[in-house]
């Protein structure tokens, strides 16, 4: 009876405007990709081809030890493999519009022509590793431009924080990669879109005593084990 009274009281007070309840974050409720998930389970002839696009730099492009490109072991392909194992009637294209060496400002300049023309059903952005040379201010402006263009085009978008760079101490909370990670997370909160916090996962592994070099093919590129970490974080966040 007391619980019912409290609930009724809160309902009246909220209706009067004395309490502001925080609006739900659609990403946190796991329904951000509900439409995509509905499409994934459809069968022919009701299904359609789904385009999943990965926009960024060398990591989603599949560069391991430069200049070697291992497309089939990079996380965009691993994600496609995961989806096909779990949604066997779905027709899915995994498309990388990423370019090795590129940063977000360059990526934003070709975003409409190279990315939105593909009509993505799901879009990932992964630029932070190279954005260090761009700086936080310019990087944030470029990320905002791509995010807003995607939202205006009604494209579902997911942000990724960076994979590690062995030249930085991943346990240091004041490194360039950590600062870019924080910026990306804030953008996710502001725009209410999912953020796959890859950097935080690698930091947790380091705290557990793991050697981050075991997940790297060279100083700034993950190996297959590293890409599997990215895949697991994508799946844990979105599915």
- Domain borders along the chain are 27-238
Residue written as tokens 């002839």? 45
- What is d(CA 103, CA 56) in angstroms, rounded to the nearest whole number? 7
Which tokens belong to 5?
């009274």
- What is d(CA 182, CA 52) in angstroms, rounded to the nearest whole number? 25
Per-residue pLDDT of the chain (239 residues; tens, 9 = 90+): 333 333 333 343 333 343 333 333 334 445 899 999 999 999 999 999 999 999 999 999 999 999 999 999 999 999 999 999 999 999 999 999 999 999 999 999 999 999 999 999 999 999 999 999 999 999 999 999 999 999 999 999 999 999 999 999 999 999 999 999 999 999 999 999 999 999 999 999 999 999 999 999 999 999 999 999 999 999 999 99
- What is d(CA 73, CA 225) in angstroms, rounded to the nearest whole number? 9
The partner residues of 69 in beta bridges, in order of sequence, read 63
Q: Is the peptide bond before 175 cis (omega within 30 degrees of 0)?
A: no
If DSSP codes are grouped into helix, strand and coil, which group holds residue 47?
A: coil
According to CATH, the superfamily of the domain at 27-238 is SGNH hydrolase (3.40.50.1110)
Whether the Cβ atoms of residue 94 and residue 54 lie closer than 8 Å to each other: yes
Residue written as tokens 């950590």? 178
């Amino acid at each position: 009876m007391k619980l019912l009274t409290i609930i009724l009281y809160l309902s009246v007070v909220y209706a009067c405007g004395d309490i502001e309840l925080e609006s739900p974050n659609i990403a946190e409720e796991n329904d951000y990709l509900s439409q995509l998930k509905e499409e994934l389970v459809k069968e022919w002839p009701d299904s359609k081809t789904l385009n999943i696009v990965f926009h960024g730099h060398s990591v989603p492009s599949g560069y391991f030890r430069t200049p070697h490109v291992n497309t089939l072991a990079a996380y965009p392909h691993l994600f496609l493999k995961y989806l096909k194992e779990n949604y066997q009637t779905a027709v899915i294209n995994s498309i990388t519009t990423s370019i090795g060496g590129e940063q977000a400002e360059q990526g934003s300049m070709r975003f409409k022509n190279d990315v939105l023309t593909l009509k993505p059903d799901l879009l990932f952005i992964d630029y932070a590793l190279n954005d260090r040379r761009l700086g936080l201010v310019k990087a944030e402006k470029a990320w905002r431009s791509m995010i807003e263009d995607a939202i205006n085009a009604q494209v579902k978008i997911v942000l990724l924080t960076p994979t590690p760079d062995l030249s930085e101490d991943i346990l240091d909370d004041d490194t360039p990669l950590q600062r870019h990670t924080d910026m990306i997370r804030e953008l996710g909160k502001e725009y209410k879109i999912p953020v796959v916090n890859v950097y935080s996962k690698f930091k947790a592994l380091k705290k557990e005593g793991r050697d981050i070099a075991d997940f790297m093919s060279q100083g700034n590129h993950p190996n297959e084990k590293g890409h599997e970490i990215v895949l697991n974080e994508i799946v844990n966040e979105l599915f």
